[in-house]
Amino acid sequence: MGVLRFAAAAVALLASVGEAAPSSPVSTVNKRALKFDFGGEKVRGVNLGGWFVLEPWITPSIFENAPAAAVDEYTFCESLGKDEAKSRLEAHWSSFYTENDFALIKQYGLNMVRIPIGYWSITPLDDPYVQGAYEHLKTAVQWAGNHGLKVMIDLHGAPRSQNGFDNSGRRGAIGWTQGESVENTKKALNKIRDDFANNDAVAAIELLNEPMGPQLNMDTVRQFYYDGWGNLRTTNVAIVFHDAFEGVTSWNEFGAGMDNLVLDTHHYEVFDSGALSMGINDHIKTACDFGNQMASNNKWTIAGEWSGASTDCAKWLNGRDVGARYDGSFNKDGQGSYYIGDCARKSVGTVAGLNEAERNNIQNFIKAQIAAFEKGAGWIFWTWKNEAAPEWHFQNLTEAGLVPQPLSSAASSGICG
Ligand SMILES: *[C@@H]1O[C@H](CO)[C@@H](O)[C@H](O)[C@H]1NC(C)=O
């Protein structure tokens, strides 16, 4: 065991030297051995989205059965009241995923699951959210371990919302960094550390999903990352930080002397009109170019979220009752959009319902993205399953033959040149 650990540390050290990491020799003396070889093996993962943090587009049925005011987990709980919300959420937590999903994830060649969870499930504050998901997270980690999968626990929702997206738990204002919110975020992370860092299956902890850098004070974000890293540094988990939408090449100066950092970037080509206007060849080229960027910085860099989508037509993808930019029906916070194409075909609800041309495009786009992201440290698809969004359904896409198998064949296919 000691020998193995030393070997892993040596490999990681060599990898970081090879990448000309800025860390000094002094700091590497105490470098902790990791449970996943981020410098050697490619991360090939799926997100378990919409399980412990509700998203209207992942499980529209949960929201269709709730009051119209329910647009995220916060308002879901608020509009139903704690007792009713708790009973519905408990039913969801205990059924949306089962151990069989983990068996299939392993069978399809994946090695990691990223599991989003909100602060309210870990270190609750006095607000409408209800608790209980954390117990299910413990079960999920056990299931992952049973099937030889590694887990990245991802703090997806911080107090007052770090990005204003429904997937932070609360859609609307970005209030994170105000009041005690940063301190409370660190408390949640420390509890994750205390409960999970020693678990063999837990290879990584992500400090915070998608803090909205352009609208936050980046000095505060960097200080939070530094402190969060400091609180985890004596564990054997990799410490993952999101690029805060600042780009994967903008972090080269950050992290000198900080071991075991993994940079997480999210690659979607559906959330602005420029990307939505592209044909499939430009989508593929954009993905391939992005992989080169990921490989050009001085960090282990993963695409921790991406999908097979080339439009935003999936129902409620932009939020409950918010339309799509693609067909010009987007309407949120005074922003509109213009018509690029028709969503009628594009919003077909199942992989089985896709036509031949759609299948070909999705297949090539997925292959290109895997090839691209494996120029970096790997990838984690968003998401394993959902109710009605085929381009975002890794399980069904794989079963339909639209994901390369074996997964390693994408990188050698030459699709990115
Ligand atoms: C996924 O496959 C299942 C089983 O065939 C099916 O019931 C479901 O509608 C599919 N969902 C999507 C989004 O393809």
Going residue by residue through the chain (417 aa), what tens digit of pLDDT does each one get?
A: 333 333 333 334 434 443 444 444 444 446 789 999 999 999 999 999 999 999 999 999 999 999 999 999 999 999 999 999 999 999 999 999 999 999 999 999 999 999 999 999 999 999 999 999 999 999 999 999 999 999 999 999 999 999 999 999 999 999 999 999 999 999 999 999 999 999 999 999 999 999 999 999 999 999 999 999 999 999 999 999 999 999 999 999 999 999 999 999 999 999 999 999 999 999 999 999 999 999 999 999 999 999 999 999 999 999 999 999 999 999 888 888 889 999 987 768 999 999 999 999 999 999 999 999 999 999 999 999 999 999 999 999 999 999 999 999 999 999 998
> Quick one: pLDDT at residue 22?
42
Q: Can you tell me the distance from the alpha carbon of 290 to that of 308, in angstroms, rounded to the nearest whole number?
A: 15
By most ligand atoms within 8 Å of CB, the mutation choice from 346, 351, 358 for ligand 1 is 351
Could you tell me if 246 and 263 are in contact, meaning their C-beta atoms sit under 8 angstroms apart? Answer: no
By most ligand atoms within 8 Å of CB, the mutation choice from 101, 350, 355, 399 for ligand 1 is 350
Of 213, 208, 210, residue with least CA distance to 225: 208
Angle (CA) 154-158-161 rounded to 5° is 125
Task: Pick left, alpha or beta for residue 255 (phi over 0 → left; psi -120 to 50 → alpha; otherwise beta).
Answer: left
How distant, in Å, are the alpha carbons of 109, 113, 376, 383, 407 from that of 106?
A: 5, 10, 22, 15, 12
Of 27, 30, 32, residue with least CA distance to 9: 32
Tokens linked to 387: 């109710």
Length of the chain in terms of residues written: 417
17 contact partners, CB below 8 Å, separation of at least 6? none
> Which residue has its alpha carbon closest to ligand 1 atom 12?
350
Helix (H) or strand (E) holding 267: strand 261-267
> Which residue has its alpha carbon closest to ligand 1 atom 2?
396
Q: Can you tell me the distance from the alpha carbon of 54 to that of 89, in angstroms, rounded to the nearest whole number?
A: 9
Cα 266 vs. chain centroid, distance in angstroms? 7
* Domain boundary assignment for the chain: 7-21+34-409
Angle (CA) 194-251-408 rounded to 5° is 75
> Quick one: pLDDT at residue 166?
98
Q: Can you tell me the distance from the alpha carbon of 177 to that of 175, in angstroms, rounded to the nearest whole number?
A: 6
Is the C-beta atom of 393 inside 6 A of ligand 1? Answer: yes
Model confidence, pTM: 0.93
Q: Can you tell me the distance from the alpha carbon of 157 to that of 150, in angstroms, rounded to the nearest whole number?
A: 22
> Quick one: pLDDT at residue 24?
42
For residue 116, report the phi and psi dihedrals to the nearest 5 degrees: -75, 140
Is the C-beta atom of 351 inside 6 A of ligand 1? Answer: yes
For residue 108, report the phi and psi dihedrals to the nearest 5 degrees: -85, 10
The number of the ligand 1 atom at minimal distance from the alpha carbon of 349 is: 13
Looking only at the bridges linking them, the beta strands covering 238-242 and 150-157 are: unpaired
| Residues with a known catalytic role | 210, 305
Is the C-beta atom of 388 inside 6 A of ligand 1? Answer: yes
The number of the ligand 1 atom at minimal distance from the alpha carbon of 390 is: 13
> Quick one: pLDDT at residue 333?
80
In this structure, which CATH number among 2.40.70.10, 3.20.20.80, 3.20.20.330, 3.40.50.2300 belongs to the domain 7-21+34-409? 3.20.20.80
Of 251, 234, 328, residue with least CA distance to 33: 234
Residue at token pair 């996943």: 36
Helix (H) or strand (E) holding 363: helix 356-373
Is the C-beta atom of 23 inside 6 A of ligand 1? Answer: no
Bridge partner residues of 303 (DSSP): 265, 379
How far, in Å, is the centroid of ligand 1 from the Cα of 136? 24
